[in-house]
Amino acid sequence: MTEAKLVINENPNKKTKPDPDNLKFGKLFTDHMFTMEYSREKGWFQPQIVPYAPVSLEPASMIFHYGQSVFEGLKAYRDENNDVLLFRPDENLKRLNRSNGRLSIPPINEELVMDYLKQLISLEKDWIPQAEGTSLYIRPFIIATEPSLSVAPSNNYTFFIILSPVGSYYPEGIHPVSIMVEEHFTRAVRGGMGTAKTGGNYSAGYNAQEYAANQGHAQVMWLDGVEKKYIEEVGSMNVFFKIDGQVITPELNDSILQGVTRKSIIQLLADWDIQVIERKISMKEVYQAYEAGTLEEAFGAGTAAVVSPIGELIWKDESMIINGRQTGELTKSLYTTLTGIQTGKIPDPFEWTVQVK
């Protein structure tokens, strides 16, 4: 590691801030970004904050050919005292390094990057929207930049952090969606890249996603790649079920992404004396619970939506309506508590939030 001191090159041409009531997701970026380079000789070097601007890359750069890239996603909130809060950013940097390992990308120094991230957020503080449900979305990512067509890990990388003010995931309030269980396409399999946040896992799902959207469903539910029996994730979220009073979530394996929201929900429920059972759960079991009238709630969990209630589940020719298409009590409590902690509205007994000075 030869990281030098962070150089800040301030943008003289500041953009006007967007209308906080009309924010979309990830279309608009702030005035600055963080970048850092990697070479085999120097390690990670040249950390800097520079104006957000296009990057220039040779067409032969490996990122365009062999998909060697990883990313993260987390959010910054502004609380009522105008202080800036990050939600468990250490977890995201840890996961970034796990993703790096799976993609043969050299690890970053988590402590240093945490410091760079805080300096970037601090500089862009005014970009953090304050309206209910809005936040500043933080996207760290690493791409392979060596110009070479060899099918092998790149010798050069660039690490970026870009920031986007985003609107509420639920402009009309939290509401359940319809989810289609995907029987044909596979997101990830044992021995694959499913535990890594890497590009290929996402575009792999587009065919299925487009098909589901055409059928009028919001997202797909992914089954395991081996037996096409066990539930893995929903869209780009982890998934929870409440069946006959018990909360169940698929146990982690090497094809499920280890969500920070998932982990936080498990801890939060433990605090409420509700045990979450982490185990394999098949679609058949969910269907049987539905038939028995014990499928009480189901929801996705991830940074973007925080908690996303499932109102309908389509499996083969069956449609299962969950909790009369209403957001369940537990789902609602989790959403309120998590967003409350994230935005500093309620106390944070877990010390999950990190204040940016």
Binding interface with a copy of itself (CB under 8 A): 25-27, 29, 33, 52, 54-60, 63-69, 71, 101-104, 137, 139, 141, 143-144, 147-153, 160, 162, 164, 184-186, 189-193, 198-207, 209-210, 225-226, 228, 235-236
When the beta carbons of 226 and 346 are compared against a copy of itself, the nearer one is 226
Where does 199-291 show beta strands of DSSP type E? 219-223, 231-234, 238-243, 246-249, 276-278
73 touching ligand PLP, by CB under 6 A: yes
Using DSSP, state whether 289 is helix, strand or coil: helix
Residue 257 interacts with, from a copy of itself, ligand PLP, none (CB under 5-8 Å by kind)? ligand PLP
Residue 94 interacts with, from a copy of itself, ligand PLP, none (CB under 5-8 Å by kind)? none
Residue 106 interacts with, from a copy of itself, ligand PLP, none (CB under 5-8 Å by kind)? none
Closest approach, Cβ 339 to a copy of itself, in A, equals 20
CA distances from 301 to 51, 67, 189, 266 (A): 33, 26, 20, 11
Q: How many residues bind ligand PLP (CB under 6 A)?
A: 13
Interacting residues with ligand PLP between 236 and 275 (CB under 6 A): 236-238, 257, 259-262
When the beta carbons of 84 and 143 are compared against a copy of itself, the nearer one is 143
Residue 233 interacts with, from ligand PLP, a copy of itself, none (CB under 5-8 Å by kind)? ligand PLP
302 touching ligand PLP, by CB under 6 A: yes
Residue 238 interacts with, from a copy of itself, ligand PLP, none (CB under 5-8 Å by kind)? ligand PLP
Q: Judging by beta carbons within 10 Å of its beta carbon (0-12, 13-18, 19+), is residue 98 exposed, middle or buried?
A: middle
Encoding tokens for residue 225? 């790649």
When the beta carbons of 74 and 286 are compared against ligand PLP, the nearer one is 74
What angle separates helix 89-102 from helix 260-271, to the nearest 10 degrees? Answer: 140
Amino acid at 31: D
Closest approach, Cβ 311 to ligand PLP, in A, equals 20
When the beta carbons of 49 and 195 are compared against ligand PLP, the nearer one is 195
Give the list of residues 6+ apart from residue 309 with CB closer than 8 angstroms, or none. Answer: 174, 175, 176, 177, 297, 298, 299, 323, 327, 328, 331
Lookup result for tokens 């500041």: 14
When the beta carbons of 155 and 326 are compared against a copy of itself, the nearer one is 155
Bridge partner list, 281? none
When the beta carbons of 149 and 277 are compared against a copy of itself, the nearer one is 149
Instruction: Give the dihedral of Cα atoms 26, 28, 34, 38; nearest 10 deg.
Output: 60
- Give the count of beta carbons closer than 10 Å to the beta carbon of residue 251: 12
When the beta carbons of 46 and 97 are compared against ligand PLP, the nearer one is 97
In 3D space, the residue among 224, 241, 234 whose CA is nearest the CA of residue 179 turns out to be 234
End-to-end CA, the chain = 26
Residue 206 interacts with, from ligand PLP, a copy of itself, none (CB under 5-8 Å by kind)? a copy of itself
Residue 302 interacts with, from ligand PLP, a copy of itself, none (CB under 5-8 Å by kind)? ligand PLP
When the beta carbons of 184 and 357 are compared against a copy of itself, the nearer one is 184
Closest approach, Cβ 157 to ligand PLP, in A, equals 21
Q: Which helix H or strand E contains 63, and what residues bound it?
A: helix 63-66
CA distances from 288 to 59, 111, 283, 319 (A): 52, 47, 9, 13
List of residues contacting ligand PLP (CB under 6 A) = 73, 197, 233, 236-238, 257, 259-262, 302-303
